[in-house]
Amino acid sequence: MKATAAGAGLAALPWTRSALAQKATLVGVTWGGPWIEGTKKIADKWTKSDFKWELHSGGAAAITPKIAAVWPQPLYDFVMGTDPHHLRWTTEGWTAPITAEEMPNLKDVPADLYTKNSKGEITIVPTSVGGNFFGYRKDICPFPIKKMEDLLDPRLKGKVCVRHVLQGLNSNVLFFALAFGGSDRNMEPGWDFLKKLAKSGNVSRIANSEVDFINSMTSGESAVGFNNNVNWAKVAENFPCEFLIRARSEAPGFQANTYTEGFMICKNSPRVKEAKEFLNFLLSPENNEIYNAAIKDAPANVKSKAHPSVANIVFRDSGERKEKTYYPDNAYLATQQDAMAKKWEQEIVPILK
């Protein structure tokens, strides 16, 4: 009788095995390195769900055909990306609309960070503001770099890390183009410069991922590169770095490519509600500060404090932003992805070999 009574008592408790079995397991996708580390810091504080993580293989753009191949089958609950990915995913109709009523912490995110669909609905949960830019390790770079042409200097033999074409919608080549009179819709000057760079023998590595870049720079294999604030912060933890963010009039091409990072909640997921609850938790002032301190980006939540390492992409006023940043036409560049990948394989890879 005592055993039966005890069993009956246990069956009524909320933490029994049957109750725990109802706990949702959220499947999330983000980048490796500091991003997954920062995300897990918040996930470890969240008790309402379990988690299964997948890491982007190279650029986040690579996840798009993977989702498309099986749509509307639900592969993931939420996926991290940046502005160009957000636009593509929203256009494809994959995003679950979100509101500040169901995710109250959105109210503390500036409206200009929102991505919206044709109905005016918010489609992405913004988490961070970041930037891509050129820089170099001052301890191993043989001379101070002042202009883009300096990357062709023979003293940089095997010391220039180039970002892969699928990373950031080929923003590395775009900023090569900006240095020589090109633009989003005229990237030929950038491709021409990359060909010269490849022929010079100065390319040390093609970085296919954030880990590739960090390892190349920290090992000393590369001294110069173009990448985002998060990855540069990892390098700068142990080595003196010079970040090449200059006024356009001083050094065209050496500007910051600012962007918004954030999660798409996949509308075909059976766990949309749980995903919204967790990402609202991540977006709270305290957690957004913790998350961005881990990855070294600026918080999307205006009530969160920015980590000191983000100072290089925090600009004082609109005038300084205009001179020192460049915001690409991501909607257009997203349509050119296949063509750029083909051009890379046909015209650049043979030279690098």
User: Is the peptide bond prior to 144 cis by the omega test (within 30 degrees of 0)?
Assistant: no
pLDDT score recorded for residue 57: 83
- 40-44: Cβ within 8 A, 24+ apart: 41/290, 41/291, 41/294, 42/281, 42/282, 42/287, 42/290, 42/291, 43/278
| 269 and 124 within one domain | yes
Task: Report yes or no: 29 and 63 within 8 Å, Cβ to Cβ.
Answer: yes
| 186 and 250 within one domain | yes
pLDDT score recorded for residue 22: 76
Structural domain of 156:
131-258+328-352
List pLDDT tens digits, range 325-342.
Answer: 998 988 888 889 899 999
pLDDT score recorded for residue 312: 82
CATH of the domain at 239: 3.40.190.10
In angstroms, rounded to a whole number, what is the distance separating the alpha carbons of residues 127 and 235? 22
| 219 and 285 within one domain | no
| 167 and 254 within one domain | yes
pLDDT score recorded for residue 230: 85
Instruction: Provide the pLDDT confidence category of residue 311 given band limits of 50, 70 and 90.
Output: confident
Instruction: Provide the pLDDT confidence category of residue 117 given band limits of 50, 70 and 90.
Output: very high
Total domain count for the chain?
2
> Is residue 5 over pLDDT 60?
no
Least confident of 55-64, 76-85, 151-160: 55-64
pLDDT score recorded for residue 155: 98
| 190 and 248 within one domain | yes
pLDDT score recorded for residue 14: 43
pTM of this structure: 0.71
| 197 and 51 within one domain | no
pLDDT score recorded for residue 195: 98
Mean pLDDT of the chain: 91
In angstroms, rounded to a whole number, what is the distance separating the alpha carbons of residues 234 and 296? 8
Helix-strand-coil percent breakdown of the chain, rounded to 5? 45, 20, 35
> Is residue 160 over pLDDT 60?
yes
- The predicted model gives 151-159 an average pLDDT of 98
List pLDDT tens digits, range 250-263.
Answer: 999 999 998 899 99
| 71 and 34 within one domain | yes
Q: Please report whether residue 17 resides in a domain.
A: no
Q: Please report whether residue 7 resides in a domain.
A: no
In angstroms, rounded to a whole number, what is the distance separating the alpha carbons of residues 189 and 208? 23
| 249 and 266 within one domain | no
pLDDT score recorded for residue 37: 95
| 228 and 88 within one domain | no
List pLDDT tens digits, range 257-310.
Answer: 988 999 999 999 999 999 999 999 999 999 999 999 998 888 999 999 988 888
In angstroms, rounded to a whole number, what is the distance separating the alpha carbons of residues 295 and 286? 15
| 248 and 291 within one domain | no
In angstroms, rounded to a whole number, what is the distance separating the alpha carbons of residues 284 and 271? 20
Task: Report yes or no: 29 and 53 within 8 Å, Cβ to Cβ.
Answer: yes
